[in-house]
């Protein structure tokens, strides 16, 4: 399972509140990713990191920020949650096998914004 955990696994929050999701990996992978998955859209990249303190935006980054102060942890923050951010959030790491390094996913966090 590539040693990826996500916390919390489920969260219900109210519009306007800040929310932080955590992704933790145990295998020292350099690249980490945050995706959201919604019906009709599939998986979409929010942000990714290519090292400690090195991050970049994905295709749906508005309303989200990330931080990576340690190799093993990648945090996703919703500064002021909105109902449109209700989704399932997946963290992934890029493995080191294969020519391109396949991405392996965590179990997901289901977030509901009321």
Partner 1 sequence: EDQVTQSPEALRLQEGESSSLNCSYTVSGLRGLFWYRQDPGKGPEFLFTLYSAGEEKEKERLKATLTKKESFLHITAPKPEDSATYLCAVQAGETSGSRLTFGEGTQLTVNP
Confirm or reject binding of residue 31 to partner 1 (CB under 8 A): yes
C-alpha span between 114 and 41 (Å, rounded): 21
Count of residues that bind partner 1 according to CB under 8 A: 26
Q: Which CB atom, from 17 or from 52, has the smaller least distance to partner 1?
A: 52
Confirm or reject binding of residue 48 to partner 1 (CB under 8 A): yes
Q: How far is CA 37 from CA 82, 106, 110, in A?
A: 16, 13, 10
Among 20, 43, 61, 71, binds partner 1 (CB under 8 A): 43
Among 18-26, 61-69, 76-84, 92-100, the segment contacting partner 1 (CB under 8 A): 92-100
């Amino acid at each position: 399972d590539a040693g990826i955990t996500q916390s919390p696994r489920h969260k219900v929050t109210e519009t306007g509140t800040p929310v932080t999701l955590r992704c933790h990996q145990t295998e020292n992978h350099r690249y980490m990713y945050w995706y959201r998955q919604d019906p009709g859209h599939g998986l979409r990249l929010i942000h990714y990191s290519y090292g400690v303190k090195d991050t970049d935006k994905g295709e749906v980054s508005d309303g989200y920020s990330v931080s990576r102060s340690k190799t093993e942890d990648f945090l996703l923050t919703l500064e002021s949650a909105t109902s449109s951010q209700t989704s399932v959030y997946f963290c992934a790491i890029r493995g080191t096998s294969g020519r391109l390094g396949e991405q392996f996913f965590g179990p997901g966090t289901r977030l509901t914004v009321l």
